[in-house]
Amino acid sequence: MGRKPFDARGIGAPLLIYCTDFLPTGGVAIFRYAHKPAIPRQYLLSLMLLLVVGEARALDRLAIVGGHVVDVVRGEITRDAVVVVQGDRIVSVESGAQAVLPDDVEILDATGTWLIPGLMNMHVHLGLKLPGKMSAELANETEAELALRMAAYAREILHAGVTTIRSPGNSWPPRAPGHEDLALSKAIAAGQAVGPRIFSAGEALVITGGHGSVAGQTHNDGPWELTRAARREISAGASWVKIMISGGVATEGGSIAEALMTPDEIRAVVDAAHRFGARVAAHSGSPGATRIAVDAGVDSIEHGYFLDRPVLRAMRRNGTWLVPTIVVSQPGTRPFFEKIGSPDWYLERLESVGRQHWEALETAIAEGVNIALGTDQLPSEPNDGTTATAREAQYYVAAGMTPLQALQSATIEPARMLGADAELGSIGPGKYADIVAVAADPTADIKALRDIRLVVKGGHVFRSELD
């Protein structure tokens, strides 16, 4: 099948006229996920009938026909399928032989492609400023300029097939007042901006002298300051709280392997967050700090550069998630860091963690730890001939996952981590119509994620290069 040139005119043009009321960033949204049942099929059907007899509303139903639908929950493929979308939700998924197409439906011919759920990337800082030339160039960036830069990234991310992200800290380094990601999430949900669904931790919580701390900025120390800071982020709309519990690559000095935040501080944040229905993500390279975090009930561990088998086993027992971001410590990302003018100390720190980070990932996969894909690079950032997101998934296969498992780690597993798997992360009736078409079978070879032909989010077609 020949590849059509990318047609910018199709971008963002909504095929459907309904706007989603989906607003994933609020702490309240978690409860909506937890208690809202999927829309019963009979209700959807009667809704469709109402619309048929009601006033003519062009193009509010979409049928994606001919594609092979990958069921990431069961690990099965429905070949030559018909996926019917009504508004922002999927109504039905049937094999072509059985399907009866409703009247007045916009047909999208996806013959010869594989349809997968929209990709989900769980570690994306839209307001990232890395040390070196990038930070120098952006030193005087205003908040308005930052918000517009982030909106441009959001559009690129969606076009790269990533329909949901988690923002574990809006800006880097964390700063007040910040929260541009929360504003962007609202704008996207309201149809004022184009981008993925955003689940946000607001601004990351940093202790004085810890990873992400900046001289002269106010940080949060001790259980009560951290409790208040967690409440502040949740009340601003965060559904996650992000804490920096060990050293990291992007702060000069401070051991990546050491536990910096105290057990009392970590427990205080977890308690404060869970009381509001929010979840906690901990930046950690250290086995010791991770062990404390796991025992304290932290929901996800980010990076995990030096995690060993005992702590990974504790994570599996407790159901703690690992978001590996393996892409940042591997050699394929070096050209990116050179492009943004990273200083030598930064490159040396990255190289020093690469091998152990890889071993930690291999061990985590072998031990059956819950893994949700995240990159710590922009999901759409060019990396090794593809995007950071697709490259990250390829690394998971190289480290021991099957292609299906790697695809799950980029779809249904993140949805589970977010507590949103009733509505996101798979293609099925009642789910949001977040669908990507790729040119080959990703359960046979995960490299299929490199060739994206269609991006649908909430029933809107944002990119189409179907033949």
Q: Which residues bind Zn ion (CB under 5 A)?
A: 376
**Residue 29 token pair:** 């949204």
Cβ closest to Zn ion, residue 282 vs residue 466:
282
Cβ contacts of 139 within 8 Å, gap of 6 or more: none
Least distance CB 121 / Zn ion (angstroms):
12
Cβ closest to Zn ion, residue 116 vs residue 249:
249
Which residue bears the tokens 């072509």?
A: 96
Cβ closest to Zn ion, residue 376 vs residue 384:
376
**Residue 444 token pair:** 């046979």
Residue showing the smallest CB distance to Zn ion in the complex:
376
Least distance CB 43 / Zn ion (angstroms):
41
Q: Please, what's the b/e burial string for 187-198 (b: 16 or more CB within 10 A of its CB; e: otherwise)?
A: bbbeeebbbbbb
Least distance CB 287 / Zn ion (angstroms):
19
Cβ closest to Zn ion, residue 60 vs residue 180:
180
Cβ closest to Zn ion, residue 199 vs residue 462:
199
Cβ closest to Zn ion, residue 239 vs residue 251:
251
Helices 263-275 and 287-296 pack at an angle, to 10 degrees, of 40
Which residue bears the tokens 């004022």?
A: 192
Least distance CB 292 / Zn ion (angstroms):
20
Strand runs (DSSP E) across 73-128, as ranges?
Answer: 76-78, 81-86, 89-95, 106-109, 114-117, 119-121, 127-128
The answer to whether the Cα torsion of 427, 429, 430, 434 is positive or negative is positive
Least distance CB 54 / Zn ion (angstroms):
47
Nearest-angstrom CA–CA distance, 347 and 334? 8
Report yes or no: 36 and 431 within 8 Å, Cβ to Cβ.
Answer: no
Cβ closest to Zn ion, residue 45 vs residue 138:
138
Least distance CB 308 / Zn ion (angstroms):
22
**Residue 56 token pair:** 């003519």
Least distance CB 376 / Zn ion (angstroms):
4
Q: CA dist 13 to 94, 151, 162, 459, 464, Å?
A: 27, 17, 17, 11, 11
DSSP states along 413-428 = HHHHHHT-TTTSSS-S
Least distance CB 243 / Zn ion (angstroms):
12
Cβ closest to Zn ion, residue 88 vs residue 302:
302
Q: CA dist 161 to 147, 190, 249, 434, Å?
A: 22, 20, 28, 9
Least distance CB 132 / Zn ion (angstroms):
16
Nearest-angstrom CA–CA distance, 361 and 364? 5
Cβ closest to Zn ion, residue 78 vs residue 387:
387
Q: CA dist 122 to 77, 87, 287, 386, Å?
A: 25, 26, 21, 18
